[in-house]
Chain A
Amino acid sequence: MTLGKFRLVDLGDLPWAKELELMCPVNKLGKADIYVATHHGLFFSGSPALVHGIAARLAIMENSAKKGGSPSAWDIVHSSPGLAAIYQLHWSDEGGKHHNSRPKFLANLAGPDTGYYLKLTAYPDGGLKSSTPEPAKLLIIDRKCKQFVSPTVLLATFLRVFHLFSTHQTETRSPAASGHCMNRSEHAFVIGGGPAGLVAAIALRRKGCA
């Protein structure tokens, strides 16, 4: 598939033998920007001749937890020259800890399917953007535990002491300083149903803004 200078290779379920016919003795496909891992990333597709021959900038593996994402196929893609990242539709159970991309490159993490998708935007000049779902923002309710007034301190200060932490950022900062507001359509998940969590839940429902 081409769009101006942009090129994407998706060979469906082609096995190694048929892939080789495209690559040997001459590479009939040339280079590509995107490689959609053949046959969901199963071990009998995605030969080194094909994957390394097209030398894609990014790979997309349309695997499920139980189908595709074979460790050997993942290794071939991972070692492709010039490849920046492998985006996976799901965590691969077979791939385990060492043959799966980092969470930011997974649309759906380990566990029950959450139905997230990958979005690729290609431009005729060969530029592209790819993304996984926006990471959640994390707030920690950080009470200074004074032993005899813990609920007091917690209730009095919870809005002032929690920290904003994004998994894509390394620093912690005060939400008051960041002025970060929450969108009404967003979902907040509070871990902990004690007084701190309940007051946070009420604040989020009533104000929706840190």
Chain B
Amino acid sequence: MRVTVADGGDAPSDKACGEGILPEGIAAVERLGVALDWSAGRACRGIRFIKGDAAAQAEFGGSAGLGMRRIELHRQLIRAAENSGAVILRRTVVTGIAENLVSASGGNFAADWIIGADGFRSLVRDWAGLESRKSRVRFAFRQHFACAPWTDCVEVHWAEKAHCT
């Protein structure tokens, strides 16, 4: 099957997110033949929730998760997608879909299958007339610090109206 991926931005891209993959996610990509480079991240054995003096912790059941910068994960997946033979179009904004056509800034593309992978507030979902997934607005920030890890768990710190991972 010929596969084309279109994205409006440059790659790899950064965003505010948890920056980790649980064991199920690692197994999912390994089933597709993608071997992630663990040296670019760090193994995690569990997750810990912390609020004030209280904490709850659970392990991943023997398998390790992988903590990794999102930009690095994106870089590795781009490489894997290109190696699989997919054509990746960057800076290509998709403006609409029709019955068998994708309209984009680079022209129209005939398609037998159209895959909407454009996130939680998916425009593809709207164009297709599927139920909308609008939700309240939240704000997120990311900041990275160069320091030695003090734990092998993902830590989620809760405050009154926010959390930090």
Contacts and interface: CB of A to CB of B under 8 A. Distances in A.
The main secondary structure of chain B at its interface with chain A is mixed
Interface string A186-210: 1111111111111111111111100
A172 interface: yes
Given A188-B4, A190-B4, A205-B84, A140 B122 contact: yes
Nearest to A134: B100
Contacts of B94: 191
A200 B2 CA distance: 13
Interface string A170-188: 0010000000001111111
Interface stretch (B18-26, B51-59, B144-152): B18-26
A142 to B, nearest CB: 8
Interface stretch (A9-17, A44-52, A82-90, A144-152): A144-152
Interface residues of A, number: 64
Nearest to B125: A140
Contacts of A182: 1, 112-113
Interface in A87-143: 103-104, 109, 111-112, 114, 116, 132-141, 143
B165 A163 contact: no
Contacts of B20: 149, 151-152
A3 interface: no
A188 B3 contact: yes
Interface size class of B (residues with CB under 8 A): 35 or more
Contacts of B17: 148, 150-151
Chain A interface helix/strand/loop/mixed: mixed
Contact of A186 (B34, B107, B113): B113
A161 to B, nearest CB: 12
B1 A183 contact: yes
A6 interface: no
Interface in B1-38: 1-7, 9, 11, 13, 17-22, 24-29, 32-34
18 contacts: A111-B103, A133-B99, A135-B99, A137-B113, A137-B114, A138-B113, A148-B156, A163-B130, A186-B2, A187-B1, A187-B112, A190-B5, A193-B90, A196-B117, A197-B118, A198-B5, A205-B86, A208-B1
Interface of B: 1-7, 9, 11, 13, 17-22, 24-29, 32-34, 65, 70, 73-74, 77-78, 80-81, 84-86, 88, 90, 94, 97-103, 107-120, 122, 124-125, 128, 130, 138, 140, 154, 156, 163, 165
Interface of A: 103-104, 109, 111-112, 114, 116, 132-141, 143, 145, 147-159, 162-163, 165, 167, 172, 182-208
